[in-house]
């Protein structure tokens, strides 16, 4: 687990983004409230699925337009793409799902007790991911747009509660698989930077550590 730097010690809020293989979401806590009550950690809990039911997380799926512009993420992306397919208007659109582990090169995946690693040479702006139909976009573009969406979704929710928190007041924590190599984690950090998250206010946490408690874990580590 990465320890914080001085720039993270005086933040007002810590938010954990769980960018998962199947589902994604975020949780956060105000520093002062957490110190008073260690269970005071909030999640969105309001992602609406196609039935209108609220869920704690949303599917890790992303939709891009025929012009390669980010369109939507999660349930919204699922619903829009289903609509495009039904209306036979999906030509050119790019729909990515279960793509996170695709960042692991097929020829480096090892099972059993051997650790899977991401090939260093493929962690670049030139690496591409295939969507469900085989169409490609740069991996960095896909991942950074997803993180940017989750970042903005959190900021919007936070703004509805308080108006005194700025980006410099937020410590961002993003979950990564424990099996990922240093090179893979460097890729995720680069994607977060491209999504507008300051590297000095960013930490990475392993997924086996319950992501809902990452907020509290960081306070414990850093204070």
Supply 100's token pair: 């996170």
Asked if residue 113 is part of any domain, the answer here is: yes
Return the pLDDT at 89.
96
Asked if residue 120 is part of any domain, the answer here is: yes
Return the pLDDT at 55.
87
Would you give the distance in Å from CA 198 to the centre of its chain?
15
Among 220, 103, 96, 187, smallest CA distance to 149 is for 96
Return the pLDDT at 51.
79
Asked if residue 74 is part of any domain, the answer here is: yes
Burial 162-192, CB ≥16 within 10 A → b, else e:
eeebeeeebbbbbbbbebbbeebbebbbbbb
Instruction: Compute CA distances 44 → 26, 109, 195, whole Å.
Output: 7, 34, 20
3-state helix, strand, coil in the chain (%, to 5): 35, 25, 40
What range defines the domain where residue 205 resides? 6-222
Asked if residue 1 is part of any domain, the answer here is: no
Asked if residue 171 is part of any domain, the answer here is: yes
What are the start-end ranges of the H helices in 5-45?
31-36
Torsion angle of alpha carbons 118, 123, 127, 131, nearest 10°? 50
Instruction: Compute CA distances 163 → 49, 157, 169, 172, 178, whole Å.
Output: 29, 11, 12, 18, 36
**For the whole model, what pTM was predicted?**
0.83
Return the pLDDT at 81.
98
10-residue averages of pLDDT along the chain (223 residues):
56 90 90 62 79 88 98 97 96 94 54 38 67 94 97 93 88 87 87 96 77 48 37
Asked if residue 204 is part of any domain, the answer here is: yes
3-state SS, residue 66: coil
**Contact residues for 140 (Cβ-Cβ < 8 A; gap 6+):** 124, 125, 127, 187, 190, 191, 194
Return the pLDDT at 25.
93
CATH number at residue 44: 3.30.420.40
Asked if residue 138 is part of any domain, the answer here is: yes
**Would you say 59 and 96 are in contact if contact means Cβ atoms under 8 Å apart?**
no
Return the pLDDT at 4.
42
Return the pLDDT at 105.
52
What total of structural domains would you count in the chain?
A: 1
Asked if residue 129 is part of any domain, the answer here is: yes
Neighbour-count burial of 28, counting CB atoms closer than 10 A to its CB (0-12 exposed, 13-18 middle, 19+ buried)? buried
CB atoms within 10 A of CB 75: 16
């Amino acid at each position: 687990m990465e320890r914080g730097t001085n720039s993270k010690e005086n933040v007002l809020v810590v938010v954990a983004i769980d960018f998962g293989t199947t589902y994604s979401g975020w949780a956060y806590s105000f520093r002062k409230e957490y110190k008073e009550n260690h269970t005071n950690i909030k999640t969105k809990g309001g992602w609406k699925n196609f039935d209108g039911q609220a869920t704690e997380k949303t599917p890790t799926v992303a939709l891009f337009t025929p012009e390669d512009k980010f369109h939507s993420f999660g349930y919204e992306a699922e619903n829009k793409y289903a609509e495009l397919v039904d209306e036979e208007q999906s030509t050119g659109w790019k729909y990515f799902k279960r793509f996170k582990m695709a960042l692991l090169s097929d020829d480096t995946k090892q099972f059993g007790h051997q650790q899977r690693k991401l090939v260093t040479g493929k962690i670049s702006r030139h690496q591409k991911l295939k969507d469900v139909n085989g169409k490609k976009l740069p991996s960095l573009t896909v991942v950074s747009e997803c993180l940017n969406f989750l970042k903005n979704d959190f900021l919007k929710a936070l703004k509805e509660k308080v108006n005194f928190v700025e980006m410099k007041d937020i410590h961002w924590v993003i979950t990564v698989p424990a099996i990922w190599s240093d090179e893979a984690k460097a890729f995720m950090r680069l994607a977060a930077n491209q999504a507008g998250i300051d590297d000095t206010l960013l930490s990475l946490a392993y997924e086996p550590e319950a992501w809902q408690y990452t907020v509290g874990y960081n306070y414990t580590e850093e204070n």
